[in-house]
Structure 1
């Protein structure tokens, strides 16, 4: 059991709409509030405004720091009566910060633990065709996503969710519910029963970058291609491939089998189009695409001729598989392995 008695202040770490709502709820419950965020997260847009500006306009003390573990401003904020709430925080908290919170530092994770540790959550879920959602609150340890679980809400995404932005919007509503449950429980003196994570079930999935990983392999099945395009659709730039020597991005795709199947050598050929969509051949059927944009974001489907072929050079596919990305407090870093 875990108790949060004598809590006076709530410090939220990270960014996002749920963080902003959590701060509002904590204030309404009578807690002092503050936010700690990283430079790359401070400018995240919330209601058309940079998060850091929005919070400061509401008189919320907001600290922007590269290193939460070495910040004197954070040290001044945190005390034994402080509960920390992490929403996609950009750092790995070390033991000194956890101890400063008296162990009362909680992370909100938007997928199942311990099976879905790590990042890239909604894109990985779309790739796996996984319709189940999880909002979980767990205690923070120096290792990633390993602490005991305090609260869990399991749900099913509606069929209308097909892109990461749609998954995220629905998941945010669910996450906000357990944030409120936690804060109201803290205010009411509730003791939370904890559940340990069985390590033998654990899996870790790395971060994804559309720029590095978003290349379509036209040897995949039609279903796999549709899943991949959806996984890198809004809010991302779209899955990438080439046509007529130009790199393009595809969004808003679906499968169609009304024209039958095609020989593998026909794969990628745009065999029909109208004013709204194009039909691309694959061995399993047709890929319908409604958006083809060039690197400048201009819609160019109307400029692509029937008979032109979408393709992805083998080297781009190899590079995508040998590149790993990390998101630091200041931005993305890539690590490429030559062999």
Structure 2
């Protein structure tokens, strides 16, 4: 049996509490003989700054580079508002993404049937929703140069952000989307603004060519990003995989997430390129933040972090059946009316972080 090395970075706020439930799931997977996963725990974010004076140490980065996958809880909080900008807790996450060369952000938007009424959209629009947004993570307007604010005098300033994409950046993110679609419903929507942006023209050209050369078996639809935003509200279930750039992906993934009814329920993955063996460096984390206001109270929702672990099993360890079992256990627990405080509903029982972990483990055992 292959041994997988998983680096756990609980981070700040509620991070350690929700990561503790992942540790229990790792133990369950090992005890059930489904895999052999070895874990190591280290610091990132504000807690790392307190110890090392940096948001992530070189030693921790070495562990991340050597691991088969990394799981992160959350970083940040008001305690560190006054630290130097380059040492802020979020800088640890940014360095992880940069040094691991994680260019592909995978953001699923899944609406569990039990939570369909919590969506701001009508139940019939979101019940059964399952979208994967593939966002390019290391290029585009967030990283393009020049990026400046210039004082023009007379009380006037000029701000410049530069949208830049090279062919290879578009090819590699589109390839990730097409490969994912082959394992899902075989449909990719490529979202850009080729009607007003030169980067959109290149994006359309490169995705079209790559599709013709390597992925003709996958259905491809091109869509303008603003129309995509409208369609996510009008009829979101028409989408399977959406691939888009850094800026549009930032916006569209949050919009899709809210269609599910709870931003705090959703996992994410960030992946790099495949090496000669097909292995991809990857980091998995919940979409939610560190929530320092509830840290230490035992009320945080661990489902997004547990679902992130399921993504790790599926995409990094090739344990899709085990991931299915965990995702199915989450759905059954919600169907039974168990809720943490952030997703409480009338007629349901509100439980804490540990109790939610207990319930998911019990559901796994019951289905074994």
Greater per-residue helix proportion: 2
Greater C-alpha radius of gyration: 1
Do the two structures share a fold, i.e. TM-score over 0.5? no
More contact order relative to length (CA 8 Å, sep ≥ 6): 2
Task: Give the TM-score of the pair, scaled to structure 1.
Answer: 0.30
Task: Give the TM-score of the pair, scaled to structure 2.
Answer: 0.28
Greater per-residue strand proportion: 1
